[in-house]
Amino acid sequence: MTAHTSLNGPVAVAVPGKFYLTLHYHSPQAVAIGARVAVTVGRKPHVGVVVAHGAAPANIKLKDIENIIDDAPLFDSATLALLSWAAQYYAHPLGDVVCSALPTLLSAGNPATLSTTKTYHAVNADASTIDQLLNGRAKQQAALYQQLASSKGLDLSQLKQLGHKSAALKPLVERGLVSQREQAVTCPANAQPVAGPTLNQEQADAVAAIQSSQQHQCFVLQGVTGSGKTEVYLQTAQHYLAQNQAVLILVPEIGLTPQFLSRVQQRLAAPITVLHSGLNAKQRKDNWLAAQSGEAKVVIGTRSAVLAPIQNLGLIIVDEEHDAAFKQQEQMRYHARDLAVVRAHQANIPVVLGSATPSGETLANIQRGQYQKLTLRNRATGQAVPTIQAIDLRSQTLKGPLSQQLINRIQHHVAAGNQAMLFLNRRGVAPVLLCHECGWSADCHRCDSRMTLHRGQYKDRLRCHHCDASRAAPQQCESCHSSNLISAGAGTAGLEETLQTLFPEQTVLRVDRDSASTAKQLHAALDKATQGQADILVGTQMLAKGHHFPKLTLVGIIDADAGLYSSDYRATERLAQQVIQVAGRAGRETAGEVFIQTHMPEHPALQALISNGYDGAISSMLEERQASMLPPFSHMALIRISHTRADRAEAFARAVSMLAQQIMPTALVMGPITAPMPRKANRWRYQVLIQCQARSERSQLLNQLVPQADQHKLASGMRWSVDVDPVDFF
């Protein structure tokens, strides 16, 4: 880590909370910038991080720091600079930003030390004892002993992963054939990495371009699905690891992390750690410290990993950079891709943004000459990208949500021994439960939203996908008491039922958050799909990203229309990305085809996508946005406000709107307006949208507006947040 001078005297401390000015304390002992300290705010104890020495306001008596927790800093100057930039850009209190970048156990003040684990080691007993064990009837014990004898020691979880049972350990320990030791958790490296394939010319050119960069440069690696972007990442990473530099790789979702991690571990001879929300508190602390200490040379993580301190960082890779999962939707609403670019710029190192469907913002930066585009036009397997066709649903008789044309194509592909995948980004049996007599619908009592019907083991239930409210599905209409209730529309569970009826001889596998709610269930389902043990796959976006199913030759997109009539200007871009990403699962090893079911086959965005591909479709969308001065050709901030009383939420929103207009009359301030869902979880929701021509103007406005609004007399009891560069307007 970069050394910090340790001084006593006045220090600035970042403390979690709505503190828009830095808090200052007196340190009676020397303390390093980046170290944690215990302080009190009022009478309440807090754990904070020292961010500066001196510069305390004059004529103010400073409280003493209660305790210095760390002898050495946890944050280096580069990471603190990134966090400070993020706090200013996203209009969020610095203390919240710095302290939320710590793992939970460290933000609570626990020691910054690695956990210990019990490891087991084979003991060199006399030859007759070992021979008796190996030739005896205790086969499991013998296999376990041999495993330990060929290793440098393994912990219980590693032994279980290798197929050994913990029950076999006890007799070996009791007989003195196995010893136990406590040792700190470490980041193992693969001593025998697997060599990678020979790169094709496009891949080799991309690797050479990135490796030749001697300073900050943002590369956009646009490759069709299956073109071998991951191979470019791996061979580029090897170059920087050979120079003893660390590599940070960001992936959008936890579901991709184990699959990606396994591939990286096979290929790179470097200590690797992961950072994502699926880890328990102890694992996250240990993995974070492995990155912070420099032990880990490769850090793979979801969006929060971009905030982790990493020693001697040489390269940042953002896979699927277009994915909305990189946008944080709570607390500081940062975008990990954008922070990755800023971090690389501050460190003067290259950053690679990879995607088959780059975002509009990224493509606009290419057009401005700020990013360099690298293209992979061909699939690594040599297979052509599948064709995309629209199925016109108008005037058709459907079986569930399926057209006869799509049913016929499913039958054709499955009969040929291949797989079909149907994509529907909506869970449950049906999105609406209706009364066929009077038109009553089952609405959420807490939200302005309909409840989704889910099939239960004993009784069907209604669930709200916005506030998680749940109740038993009624047997009669709550309005006219008719028992003629019908489910309208389709969710993945309803689609699964339809397919099981239509194809009783085939295995149907559903993958969504209901069927695969844990990482273990998800991995098992994906393994089953990959090994061809299911004929028809049904799923949400969990199936659409980064997976390779060798036997998959048909993809059907069940409902594309929601993205065609949405009021959100980004909806058509998201639809185009979703179609291309889902389509990319098909035909990787055998020719494939893709069908989109729609009631709007003539829609310009859909026609542009089918006729001109993603690049043609997104170019048209960007031209429309530029004509309307929408992002990325202007800069927005969305202020979301909610209260249990609608009149108070609206009044505060009006006050915020007026404040914003007073601070910067040249800004376009829209609102207050009701949110697309006016009531959620019994709170009434309003919005104020701010649009500026320059980022600097928006930052200047927000840095004055946020502390003033927080002190407003109407702010009491209000929940409100600032979303800079919003990706949705929900």
User: Half-sphere exposure (CA, 13 Å, Cβ side) for 290?
Assistant: 26
Instruction: Please report the pLDDT score of residue 391 as a whole number.
Output: 94
Burial tier of 468 (Cβ tally within 10 Å: 0-12, 13-18, 19+): exposed
What is the CATH classification number for the domain harbouring 152?
A: 1.10.10
Q: What are phi and psi of 138, to 5 degrees?
A: -85, 75
In the predicted model, what is the mean pLDDT of residues 586-601?
88
What is the CATH classification number for the domain harbouring 676?
A: 3.30.70.600
Q: How confident is the model at residue 246 (pLDDT cuts 50, 70, 90)?
A: very high
Whether 45 and 162 share a structural domain: no
Confirm if 714 and 628 have CB atoms less than 8 A apart.
no
Q: For the sheet containing 719-724, what is the strand order? A: 668-680, 683-692, 635-643, 719-724
Q: For the sheet containing 452-454, what is the strand order? A: 452-454, 461-463, 470-472
Mean pLDDT, the chain, rounded, equals 90
Whether 148 and 239 share a structural domain: no
629 within domain boundaries? no
Instruction: Please report the pLDDT score of residue 372 as a whole number.
Output: 97
Whether 513 and 640 share a structural domain: no
What is the CATH classification number for the domain harbouring 364?
A: 3.40.50.300
Query: For residues 220 and 199, what is the distance between their CA atoms, to the nearest angstrom?
Result: 18
In the predicted model, what is the mean pLDDT of residues 279-299?
94
Question: How many Å separate Cα 412 from the centre of its chain?
Answer: 36
> What residues pair up with 112 in beta bridges, in sequence order?
none
Q: How far is CA 496 from CA 154, 507, 537, 550, 629, in A?
A: 43, 10, 9, 22, 43
Q: Report pLDDT digits (tens) over 67-119.
A: 999 999 999 999 999 999 999 999 999 999 999 999 999 999 999 999 888 88
Q: What are phi and psi of 429, to 5 degrees?
A: -75, -45
Whether 256 and 148 share a structural domain: no
454 within domain boundaries? no
Q: What is the DSSP letter of 167?
A: G
Percent of the chain with pLDDT over 90: 63
Instruction: Please report the pLDDT score of residue 126 as a whole number.
Output: 66
* Lowest-pLDDT choice from 25-39, 289-303, 562-576, 668-682: 562-576
Q: How confident is the model at residue 1 (pLDDT cuts 50, 70, 90)?
A: very low
Which of the residue ranges 8-22, 262-276, 355-369 has the most confident prediction, judged by mean pLDDT?
Answer: 355-369
Whether 426 and 558 share a structural domain: yes
60 within domain boundaries? yes
Among residues 52, 72, 107, the one where a domain terminates is: 107
**Two structure tokens written together for 510:** 């559903």
**Two structure tokens written together for 185:** 């958790």
Confirm if 293 and 225 have CB atoms less than 8 A apart.
no
Whether 205 and 331 share a structural domain: yes
In the predicted model, what is the mean pLDDT of residues 225-238?
93
Among residues 107, 138, 171, the one where a domain terminates is: 107
Return the beta strands (E) in 464-562 as ranges. Answer: 470-472, 485-488, 508-511, 536-539, 552-557
- Chain position carrying tokens 């958050």: 513
482 within domain boundaries? no
Q: Which amino acid is at 490?
A: A
471 within domain boundaries? no
User: Which H or E run contains 626?
Assistant: helix 604-628
Q: Taking 60 as the threshold, does the pLDDT of residue 464 lie above it?
A: yes
Query: b/e string for 693-721 if b means 16 or more Cβ within 10 A?
Result: eeeeebbebbebbbebbeeeebbeebebb
190 within domain boundaries? no
Residues 6+ apart with CB under 8 A from 157: none
Instruction: Please report the pLDDT score of residue 148 as a whole number.
Output: 85
Q: Taking 70 as the threshold, does the pLDDT of residue 44 lie above it?
A: yes
Q: Taking 90 as the threshold, does the pLDDT of residue 167 lie above it?
A: no
Whether 620 and 521 share a structural domain: yes
Query: b/e string for 67-91 if b means 16 or more Cβ within 10 A?
Result: ebbbeebbbbebbbebbbbbbebbb
Q: What are phi and psi of 442, to 5 degrees?
A: -80, 100
- Chain position carrying tokens 């590369």: 219
Whether 528 and 611 share a structural domain: yes
Instruction: Please report the pLDDT score of residue 428 as a whole number.
Output: 78
596 within domain boundaries? yes
What is the CATH classification number for the domain harbouring 23?
A: 3.40.1440.60
Whether 655 and 531 share a structural domain: no
> What residues pair up with 638 in beta bridges, in sequence order?
689, 723
What SS3 state is found at 287?
Answer: helix
Whether 217 and 336 share a structural domain: yes
Instruction: Please report the pLDDT score of residue 23 as a whole number.
Output: 92
Which candidate, 364, 423, 687, 685, places its Cα nearest to that of 541?
Answer: 423
Q: Taking 70 as the threshold, does the pLDDT of residue 257 lie above it?
A: no
User: Half-sphere exposure (CA, 13 Å, Cβ side) for 604?
Assistant: 5
- Measured over the CA atoms of residue 45, residue 46, residue 51 and residue 57, the dihedral's sign is negative
Full domain range(s) for residue 603: 387-430+489-624
Q: How confident is the model at residue 458 (pLDDT cuts 50, 70, 90)?
A: low
Among residues 624, 655, 680, the one where a domain terminates is: 624
Number of domains within the chain: 5
For helices 257-267 and 519-530, give the axis angle rounded to 10 degrees. 70
Whether 160 and 253 share a structural domain: no
**Two structure tokens written together for 169:** 């350990």
What SS3 state is found at 577?
Answer: helix
158 within domain boundaries? yes
Whether 217 and 352 share a structural domain: yes
Of 607 and 175, the one with more pLDDT: 607
**Two structure tokens written together for 344:** 């690389």
Q: How confident is the model at residue 3 (pLDDT cuts 50, 70, 90)?
A: very low
Q: Report pLDDT digits (tens) over 294-308.
A: 999 999 999 999 999
